[in-house]
Amino acid sequence: MVVGLNLFFMYYTLLRGFSKGLKWQYRFLFSCLIQICIEICLFETIECVYINYFVPSMVYINKLTK
């Protein structure tokens, strides 16, 4: 079902792009690229730091207090 929904929304986005024109398509592409860069550079970095530094340090501090 999820694959079917993804295919439908890709199809819908393609139809929307054809109806809106080339300028809209370039804006959409630019927005997607900015979103991907922010996702990778900011959110994934924060997630890695949280999982690999903060969580283990909390566990270590908890072990020291017991």
What does pTM read for this prediction? 0.65
Q: Does a structural domain hold residue 10?
A: no
Q: Give the mean pLDDT of the chain.
A: 92
Domain assignment present for 62: yes
Confidence at residue 36, expressed as pLDDT on a 0 to 100 scale: 95
Structure confidence at residue 60 (pLDDT):
83
* Residue 4 in domain: no
Q: Within a domain: residue 11?
A: no
> What does R_g of the chain's alpha carbons equal in angstroms?
21
Q: Which domain holds residue 65?
A: 21-66
pLDDT at 58 over 90: no
Q: Domain total for the chain?
A: 1
- In a domain? residue 2: no
> Is 52:59 a contact under the CB 8 Å cutoff?
no
**In the 8-state DSSP scheme, what is residue 42?**
I
Tens of pLDDT, residue by residue over 8-38, are 999 999 999 999 999 999 999 999 999 999 9
Asked if the structure places residue 65 within a domain, the reply is yes
**Residue 40 is assigned to a structural domain of this protein:** yes
